[in-house]
Amino acid sequence: MRTDKKRDLLKRRRWRIRKKVLGTAERPRMSVRFTHKNIYVQFVDDDAGNTLASVSTRTNETNGLSANVAGAGEIGKIAGEAAKSAGIQAAVFDRSGARFHGKVKTLADAARDAGLQL
C-alpha cells in the first residue's frame, strides 16, 4: 500500500473519530498523539477551545522516556496526575485514529490507574 494512501486512511479515521468525541469543561477530551520519538497528551475543552492540561515526553520531568509501551505507561500515569491537579476527574478518550492496542491501551490503562475516569 502506498504511503500517501496510508496517510489518507489515517486522516479519515482520525476525523471519523473526532466527529463523535467532544470534550466539555466537566469532561474534557484527552487527546493522545504518538510520533516515532515522542508521546503527547492534552486535555482539551472543545466548548471553550482551551487546553486545560498537557503532558509530553519532551518536558524536563519526563526526559528520558521514549514512545514505546513502557514510556506510554509512565506518560499515562503522569497525565492522570496532571489531570487530577487541574481538577479533572473524568475525560473522553481521543485515540487520534490509532487502534486501541499496545501503546494506546497501556497509556489509557495507566491513566485509569492514576484515578482518571475514561
Q: What are the pLDDT digits (tens) for 27-64?
A: 899 999 988 899 999 999 988 888 999 999 888 777 77
**Residue keyed to cell 502506498:** 2
Distances (CA, A) of 10 to 5, 14, 29, 97: 9, 6, 19, 6
The Cβ-side half-sphere exposure at 81, using a 13 Å CA radius, reads: 8
User: How many domains, in total, are found in the chain?
Assistant: 1
Reported as a single tens digit per residue, the pLDDT across 55-109 is 998 887 777 788 889 899 999 999 999 999 999 999 999 888 778 899 999 999 9
In a domain, 27, yes or no: yes
Give the lowest-confidence range in 9-13, 37-41, 110-114.
Answer: 9-13
Q: What is the CATH number of the domain that holds 92?
A: 3.30.420.100
Pairwise CA distance, residues 3 & 9, whole Å: 10
Distance CA 10, CA 75 (A): 23
- Please indicate, yes or no, if residue 118 is contained in any of the structural domains: no
Contact 107/32 with Cβ under 8 angstroms? yes
Residue 12 lies in a domain: yes
Range of the domain at 26: 3-113
